[in-house]
Amino acid sequence: MSKETPTRNMVTIDGNTAAAQVAHALNEVIAIYPITPSSPMGELADELSAQGVTNIWGTIPDVTEMQAEGGAAGAIHGALTAGALATTFTASQGLLLMIPNMYKIAGELSPTCFHVAARSVAAQALSIFGDHSDITAARATGFGFIASGSIQEAHDMALIGTAASLESRVPFVHFFDGFRSSHEIQKIEELTQDDMREVIDDEAVFAHRLRGMSPDRPVLRGTAQNPDVFFQAREAVNPFYNAAPGIVQEVMDRFAKVVGRQYHLFDYYGAPDAERVVVLMGSGAETAHETIDYLVEQGEKVGMIKVRLFRPFSGEALVNAIPDSVKTIAVLDRTKEPGGAGEPLYQDVITAYTEAISAGTVKQMPAIVGGRYGLSSKEFTPAMTKAVLDNLSASAPKNHFTIGIYDDVTETSLEWDPDFSTEGDDVHRAMFWGLGADGTVGANKNSIKIIGKGTDNFCQGFFVYDSKKSGARTISHLRFSKKPIRSTYLISKAGFVACHNFSFLDRYDMLSALNKGGIFLLNSPYSAEEVWDHMPQEVQQALVDKQAEFYVIDANSLAKSIGLGGRINIIMQAAFFKISGVLPEEQAMDMISHAVEDTYGRKGQSVVDMNIKAAEMALDRIEKVSYPQTASSDLTMRPPVPEHAPEFVQNVTAEIIAGRGDLLPVSAMPADGTYPTGTTQYEKRGVGIEIPVWEPDACIQCNQCSFVCPHATIRMKVYDAQYANGSSPATFKTMEAKGRDWKGMKYTVQVAPEDCTGCGVCVDTCPAFVKVDGKKTDRKAINMAPLTEELRQQEAENWDYFLGLPETDTATFNRFTVKGSQMLPPLFEFSGACSGCGETPVVKLMTQLYGDRAIIANATGCSSIYGGNLPTTPYAQRADGRGPTWSNSLFEDAAEFGMGMRLTVDKLTQFAYELLDDLIDGADNHVDLLEGIRDADMVDQDAIEAQRERVAELKALLEQDDSDLAAQLLTVADYLAKKSVWI
């Protein structure tokens, strides 16, 4: 088959799928372990095998999930040693956990191609987003590294990497950018199994199989070697590495003959007489390609190198690829090597040129500078590419620069022009703001596929999630064009903006991205006539300024009336197709119906019918809004945090919440990753569409609603009756407290309306029903009600008043009962866990009972994301400032991490008692206090609190004492009061 006989399908898929399909087709044994963002590759391979899909040799690959990445690599090592074609998928720390086995696999010249969705390695913080820090950390293993920058390339290089590995015997990592290419959807040409068969050399496969260990031809591998021979044996692999670049190029050439796309180890693109060149690898190369197109058209002598083969690095091939006219080169690394002479790719390029100069193959050494970009998926735009190239025009180009951030500490950053854009009018761009789990992202993925299938457009979909688990913001970025799309960066100007959640209006500036004359679609509980008066003034002004076409649809009511609950996805999708005109309405509806059948078919015909009905009804419910030409609203957009929030929250947290985190300078960031606790209280996400409303008459004061609440957003207090006498807001509800110890006191159940996620778990759990004429109704003592603006304001005022009430006297209840525990303030509140989460009520309860003395070693997973994800964190402090202190090490070492904390607590406690004993030995005064501290039993909360008071007294005394003993004890005296370590 050749490019003249195009029988390949165009498919609209993401990078993970593109790589995994090929990996599945080219292997026999696949060992997997999930790690974001590579997990879908393993899942897809597993699914394909479960469906009976065979590889190119007609057998179904065996897919096995291991206990960890180290295990997956170990299993692959074993499979390769025994002669199977084997692979795995991973990212970040997962790849680092594979490193020991990677050394072994490479040392034994076992061919394989791992597929990696490259991701940041956790340092001052974990990040699930993309850069090359994992790749570069593994570069010394002996694996080859082959890079993809687009979805098509992820598909193609998966084949090229595997074929080259089989022929060279150098194992490869094929990588593409995590949470860019891995999750970006594009229309690509799908390779057929025939293509793969033509590119893969079966002789190399047979040779690998025959090298596999077998008792029929016994050998011994994995020896222990001594100083006499290890070094020489290590050098014995050199010929294979020397040959590998040439073999990769041969495979690329063969691929080009079969498929039609020609790649090189280093692909040069740009002006043939370029004087300034940028070198980079991964998805950033697509953005650079787009920028070079634009700048060359403007007559600039610029170009770029796309690095395909990072290891084995062929300096000769690099230098040969760059035009002789080049005077300055900027090398961009998507990683940071603190303390290094420069980042890896920069050093490679310097070495290549230095060697070429020495060898006389290059006459003049260009000026070469290096810079860092795009860490943790930081945006890399054409404006930034241009800034990098502009830097090369300077008389002394800045070296070791950063691009994409504002570094006001060590002044590394280059400035760029945020208004510079290369995007033409020939690309349709649309942005959709949705609420996590409302189906917006899923619907947009469908839309992309529908457009990809139904038109000859190229299309691209990219989805930005905030890191809360659910009830959070998602922004879908969709592009369609007749020409291939290389824009691997977010949309900043769109012709269509949709807001799927009305509560976003006063929190996010969505319209700044809308083009003049563009379309704004709003999911609104208000009709076309009413909506204008319910919008913030700033939004009104933006619509007027942009002369936008403005449409509303009440998707929530429609979804509810049809039985879809909060799933508004199909409704908003139908609305998009109707008003955007991307496809004729009839064709769009037809394709939506098919997509619904594909998506919901497994859930039964009634679910399919419901969704199709929703789409049809949506078409009739869209209303165009005629709006006045002046912004007159009294409402304004809310500040991201209240004015009383602490300084750090105002200056840093609020900016992240407002979506302006990219603009924060380096100086705003704690250098060691230490952040204040208790910041969720300032965020006020307001994601609940409904909230519980308390009906005191039916309440039996069991406190179960609070006990089960995953977000600590429904609470109760018993307080003196004076607080319910006129000083409270008019709508503040109260009732007589039940119980002997609370005689004459008042009891209130209060909801935090802007923090409640509306999960309804409290209402489901409430055992008390309203009775009418002695008969139970279906109303309870709490019932969900729509969160109107009026209810929000009213309950926000009540919540503030409630927080100001004194805490319930702990002497009046038993904290170790369901009811009593909920009288204690939670020290874990308003987490971003999934709405209705079953874990968080337990965490909350633990903090209520023991949080004042907790040190937490949290494993990585859901609990580390809802527990420690910026911008705001839920572990809180009680009034005296005590509360859980929290840290996360890695996915796999929480037990050891916690044990280290425990060892420290035990050691420093022992040391504190030793110092105390020394103090007692020499003491003339305060002996009772010192002995009281030494002898305290701390068996219950009261005893711990009493000890804390004594320790405070001791510390006050120590501060007056200038002896060495006092100075030592002062730093560890707090260990004299009990601590507890949680893992």
Q: Which positions touch ligand SF4 (CB under 6 A)?
A: 691-692, 694, 699-705, 709, 711, 713-714, 749, 751, 756-762, 766, 768, 781-782
Nearer to ligand SF4, 574 or 766 (CB): 766
Please state the closest distance from residue 878 (CB atom) to ligand SF4, in A. 21
Please state the closest distance from residue 707 (CB atom) to ligand SF4, in A. 8
Q: Enumerate residues 6+ apart whose C-beta is below 8 A from 330.
A: 276, 277, 278, 279, 368, 369, 370, 371, 388, 389, 391, 392, 397
Nearer to ligand SF4, 103 or 769 (CB): 769
Nearer to ligand SF4, 757 or 889 (CB): 757
Please state the closest distance from residue 554 (CB atom) to ligand SF4, in A. 22
Please state the closest distance from residue 807 (CB atom) to ligand SF4, in A. 17
Nearer to ligand SF4, 697 or 807 (CB): 697
Q: What is the DSSP letter of 692?
A: E
Nearer to ligand SF4, 83 or 841 (CB): 841
Please state the closest distance from residue 702 (CB atom) to ligand SF4, in A. 4
Nearer to ligand SF4, 303 or 832 (CB): 832
Please state the closest distance from residue 717 (CB atom) to ligand SF4, in A. 12
Please state the closest distance from residue 529 (CB atom) to ligand SF4, in A. 32
Residue 100 tokens read as 């020991």
3-class SS string, 584-634: CHHHHHHHHHHHHHHHHHHHCHHHHHHHHHHHHHHHHHCEECCCCCCCCCC
Nearer to ligand SF4, 761 or 944 (CB): 761
Nearer to ligand SF4, 70 or 832 (CB): 832
Please state the closest distance from residue 762 (CB atom) to ligand SF4, in A. 3
One-letter amino acid of 654: A
Cα dihedral angle (858, 860, 865, 869), rounded to 10 degrees?
80
Please state the closest distance from residue 688 (CB atom) to ligand SF4, in A. 6
**What gap in Å lies between CA 97 and CA 95, rounded to an integer?**
5
Nearer to ligand SF4, 731 or 971 (CB): 731
Of 344, 342, 369, 367, nearest in space to 357 by CA: 367
Q: How many residues are recorded in the chain? A: 983
Residue 884 tokens read as 């859980």
Q: Is the CB of residue 289 less than 8 Å from the CB of residue 127?
A: no
**What gap in Å lies between CA 611 and CA 555, rounded to an integer?**
12
Please state the closest distance from residue 779 (CB atom) to ligand SF4, in A. 11
Question: Which residues, listed in sequence order, are joined to residue 494 by a DSSP beta bridge?
Answer: 514
Q: Is the bond preceding residue 218 a cis peptide, omega within 30 degrees?
A: no
Question: Which residues, listed in sequence order, are joined to residue 693 by a DSSP beta bridge?
Answer: 783
Please state the closest distance from residue 712 (CB atom) to ligand SF4, in A. 8
Nearer to ligand SF4, 319 or 698 (CB): 698
Q: Enumerate residues 6+ apart whose C-beta is below 8 A from 673.
A: 123, 124, 125
**What gap in Å lies between CA 438 and CA 472, rounded to an integer?**
10
Q: Enumerate residues 6+ apart whose C-beta is below 8 A from 735.
A: 696, 697, 699, 701, 746, 747, 748
Please state the closest distance from residue 784 (CB atom) to ligand SF4, in A. 7
Q: Enumerate residues 6+ apart whose C-beta is below 8 A from 380.
A: 284, 287, 373, 374, 403, 404, 488, 489
Please state the closest distance from residue 832 (CB atom) to ligand SF4, in A. 12
**What gap in Å lies between CA 90 and CA 119, rounded to an integer?**
9
Please state the closest distance from residue 735 (CB atom) to ligand SF4, in A. 9
Distances in whole angstroms, Cα of residue 506 to Cα of each of 207, 403, 475, 640: 65, 32, 16, 10
Please state the closest distance from residue 862 (CB atom) to ligand SF4, in A. 17
Nearer to ligand SF4, 265 or 705 (CB): 705
Distances in whole angstroms, Cα of residue 721 to Cα of each of 703, 726, 737, 781: 20, 10, 10, 22
Residue 414 tokens read as 């280059």
Please state the closest distance from residue 731 (CB atom) to ligand SF4, in A. 17
Q: How many CB atoms lie within 10 A of CB 529?
A: 11
Of 60, 162, 45, 59, nearest in space to 111 by CA: 162
Nearer to ligand SF4, 30 or 787 (CB): 787
Residue 934 tokens read as 């030494």
CA atoms within 13 A on the CB side of 153: 26
Angle at which helices 941-959 and 927-935 pack, to 10 degrees? Answer: 140
Residue 77 tokens read as 């090592």
Residue 583 tokens read as 């496809």
Please state the closest distance from residue 747 (CB atom) to ligand SF4, in A. 9
Nearer to ligand SF4, 352 or 749 (CB): 749
**What gap in Å lies between CA 105 and CA 81, rounded to an integer?**
8
Nearer to ligand SF4, 313 or 747 (CB): 747
Nearer to ligand SF4, 692 or 826 (CB): 692
Nearer to ligand SF4, 592 or 714 (CB): 714
Residue 424 tokens read as 């033409």
Q: Is the CB of residue 721 less than 8 Å from the CB of residue 744?
A: yes
One-letter amino acid of 22: V
**What gap in Å lies between CA 682 and CA 642, rounded to an integer?**
6
Nearer to ligand SF4, 88 or 701 (CB): 701
Please state the closest distance from residue 758 (CB atom) to ligand SF4, in A. 5
**What gap in Å lies between CA 494 and CA 514, rounded to an integer?**
5
Nearer to ligand SF4, 304 or 709 (CB): 709
Positive/negative CA dihedral, 829, 831, 833, 835: positive
